[in-house]
Amino acid sequence: MRTKWQMLVLVAMIVSLSTGVRLAVGAPAPKHADDPPPAAPPPAAPPPAAQPQIPEIRPSSPQDEALKKLIGQRTSTRGITLSSAPATRPHKVLGTVSVEAPAPTDGSDTKPGPNLYLNELLRSRAIKLYGEKKVDGIMSVTYEPAREGKIRANGTAVHFENPSGGKK
C-alpha cells in the first residue's frame, strides 16, 4: 500500500511539472513577473525625544568653597596618591602627616571617612614638610569623627622607588 501511495505522488509531481498545474499541497504559489510586489507596512513613527532633565544643584557649603580655594592654591601638578591601605610598592617612609580642620556646622560630613577637604590638606601639608619632589603618596590614611569642633586626618608620607632599585 505504501509503495502505491509513493508511486501516485511521484506521478502527480511529474504531471504537475509537465503541465504547469500546481498541486494543492500547502506550498505558496510561485511568484510571476507581472505580480505586484507585496506592500510594505508603513514605517512606525519614532518615539518623541525625551525632555532633557535639569540637574539638581545643591547650595555650596563653606567647606566646598574652602576646598575650591585650596585646590586653586596648588603649586604642584604632581598627583599624590592617597590610600587607607599600606603601600604595596617599594617605598621609603618620609614621616607622618596630620591635619585638622573645623568641623562642618551644617551637620554634613560629621561621620569618619574620606573627606576631600582633608585629603587636599594632607597633600599640601606633606609637600610643606617633605618637599614636592619627594612626596609620591600618603598611605594608611585615617579619618577621625568630628570632636571638639574639629575633624582630623593623618597618614604616612612615602616616596615610591623604581622597581630597578633606584629612586625616581
- Residue 137 belongs to domain with CATH number: 3.30.110
Residue 106 is part of which domain span?
85-160
Quick check: is 149 in a domain?
yes
Quick check: is 125 in a domain?
yes
Reported pTM: 0.53
Quick: pLDDT tens for 105-133. 665 555 556 677 888 889 889 999 998 88
| Lookup: cell for 38 | 507585496
Mean pLDDT of 17-23: 59
Number of domains in the chain: 1
Tell me what percent of the chain is helix, strand and coil, each rounded to the nearest 5: 25, 25, 50
Q: Which residues pair with 116 in a beta bridge?
A: none
Quick check: is 148 in a domain?
yes
Quick check: is 12 in a domain?
no
Q: Which residues pair with 100 in a beta bridge?
A: 152
In this prediction, residue 148 has a pLDDT band, given cuts at 50, 70 and 90, of confident
Quick check: is 134 in a domain?
yes
Quick check: is 153 in a domain?
yes
The three-state secondary structure class of 59 is coil
Residue 158: count of CB within 10 angstroms of its CB: 27
Contact 160, 166 (CB under 8 A): no
Is residue 1's pLDDT more than 60? no
Quick check: is 18 in a domain?
no
